Amino acid sequence: LSPGAKMGCFTFIKVMMILFNLAIFLGGGTLLGVGIWVSLDGDSFLDIFGALSSSVLQVVNVSYFLIVIGAILLVIGFLGCCGAQKESKCLLMMFFSVVLIIFIAEVAAAVVALVYTGLAETLLTAVVTPLLKEKYGMDENFSHIWNVTMSEVHCCGLNNYTDFTDSPWYKEEGTYPGPCLVRGLLPFACPHLCDCLPQGCFDQILKEIKTNAGVVGGVAAGIAALEIAAMAVSMYLYCQLDQK
* Residue 221 and residue 139 share a domain: yes
pLDDT given for residue 77 in this prediction: 92
Q: Is 127 found in the same domain as 229? A: yes
DSSP state of 167: S
SS3 196: strand
Residues 123 and 234 in one domain: yes
Quick one: 154 and 232 in the same domain?
A: yes
- Do 120 and 156 lie in one domain? The reply is yes
Q: How far is CA 188 from CA 104, 111, 137, in A?
A: 42, 34, 25
CA-based max dimension of the chain:
80
Domain-located, residue 96: no
**192/171 Cα distance (integer angstroms):** 20
Q: Give the span between the Cα atoms of 17 and 158, in whole angstroms.
A: 42
For residue 125, is it within any domain?
A: yes
**Quick check: is 92 in a domain?**
no
When divided into structural domains, the chain yields a total of 2
Q: What is the CATH number of the domain that holds 176?
A: 1.10.1450.10
Co-location of 201 and 154 in the same domain: yes
> Do 210 and 114 sit in the same domain of this protein?
yes
Domain housing 5: 1-86
The predicted model gives 150-161 an average pLDDT of 81
Where among 86, 117, 139 does a domain terminate?
A: 86
Give a yes or no: residue 100 inside a domain.
no
- Residue 193 is predicted with a pLDDT of 46
For residue 49, the tally of other CB atoms under 10 A from its CB is: 14
Same domain, yes or no, for 53 and 142?
Answer: no
Residue 212, pLDDT score = 67
> Residue 93 falls within a domain, yes or no?
no
pTM of the model: 0.61
161 in a domain, yes or no?
yes
Domain co-membership, 73 together with 164: no
Residue 91 maps to a domain:
no
Q: What is the pLDDT of residues 3-34, one digit of tens each?
A: 667 777 888 888 889 998 999 999 888 888 88
pLDDT in tens, 91-148: 999 999 999 999 998 888 777 767 766 666 677 778 778 888 888 888 887 888 888 8
- Do 39 and 154 share a domain, yes or no? no
String of b and e for 125-157 (b: at least 16 CB within 10 Å)? eeebbebbbebbbeeebbbebbbbbbbbbbbbb
Residues 69 and 176 in one domain: no
**Is the residue at 102 inside a domain?**
no
Cα Rg, the chain, nearest whole Å: 23
What's residue 52's pLDDT? 46
Percent of the chain with pLDDT over 70: 76
53 pLDDT higher than 50: no
**What is the rounded CA–CA span in Å between residue 174 and residue 166?**
10
Q: Which of 86, 117, 151 is the last residue of a domain?
A: 86
Q: Are 162 and 80 in a shared domain?
A: no
Domain end residue (candidates: 32, 55, 86): 86
